[in-house]
Amino acid sequence: MVDYTDLGLVNTKDMFAKAIKGKYAIPGYNFNNMEQLQAIIRASVETESPVILQVSKGARNYANQTLLRYMAQGVVEYARELQKDGKVIPIALHLDHGMDFKICKSCIDMGFSSVMYDGSHHPFEKNIEISKQVVEYAHSQPHYVSVECELGVLAGVEDDVSAEKSHYTKPEEVIEFRNQTGCDSLAISIGTSHGANKFKPEQCTRNEEGILVPPPLRFDILEEIEKKLPGFPIVLHGSSSVPQEYVSIINSHGGALKDAVGIPESQLRKAIQYNVCKINIDSDGRLAMTAIVRKILAEKPSKFDPRKYLGPARDELCKMYAQKNHQVLGSAGHAWD
């Protein structure tokens, strides 16, 4: 058993309470390797933002969960070094889309400070049953581990999580789910979607440049949930904006991203006004790094040192995440709230 406090991590309970009060959202950034992790921490320290480091099942398989634990411990010290005054921004290590009790327990035992149990593929009562089991185990730890659950289904594909169609969260089920499970936050479905192709072209309109414009999010669902559970932390998954400049760079250097479209940043900013206090961003990070790697390898084919293309990709990712913290999530400057 590893206690996350020994790694210098924090859970998300206090983070979310402060975010709701301050009307901003905590970034949930996924990572799989060192370069992504460096970029996330650099951007968060530079913008003085709290941050949630997210690990999917695919990332655990790719990087090894023991190594991930020590990477998380290392970035706490890296953040302290970057800060230079001995303080450390609040950092949580979070399991993204844990699909059963076993994987949630394993992550808690390995030092994760927060886990997500995603039972959205189960019927409502089964989702409650397993969610409650995860919550009871997490909350019984010597140091409280926070739990995110999911109600409703997001369309799209991300690692091992996939669904053909969205099933919007039903506001009338939210109170019962929260009361029966005791979860700390709830991921809901209001029209966001996993992956870089979040919508089919026929679901969208096109602007004057021919770029797809997705349908608006269901703010009526958010508003109804806020009325039923005022002050309760809500999470949005599948919230990458799919910046078209990265899509263009990828496609012009040998890529094949057809009709890639994301969630407009203006809609994410609006959602934050309805108790959305955590926004997950993964695909944008993949796009930013891939765009730079493709560009460098295409323009400088003699390069073979990974540092020569992964380093610039890391720097681009850091720049993008800093922009997200400042202009989209509003989390910049709130590390010391």
Side-chain half-sphere of 69: how many Cα atoms within 13 Å? 18
Beta strand 114-117 pairing with 146-151: parallel
Catalytic residue list contains 6: no
Distance, in Å, from the CA atom of 249 to the CA atom of 243, rounded to the nearest integer, reads: 10
Residues whose CB falls within 8 Å of the CB of residue 307, separated by 6 or more in sequence, listed in order: none
**In degrees rounded to 5, what are phi and psi of residue 95?**
-80, 125
Catalytic residue among 96, 118, 282, 284: 96
Closest CA to 161 of 96, 92, 112: 96
Q: Which pair of structure tokens corresponds to residue 279?
A: 């926004």
Q: What whole-number distance in Å separates Cα of residue 99 and Cα of residue 259?
A: 30
| Alpha-carbon gap, residue 141 to 213, rounded angstroms | 45
Check residue 167 and report its DSSP letter. B
Q: Which residues are catalytic?
A: 96
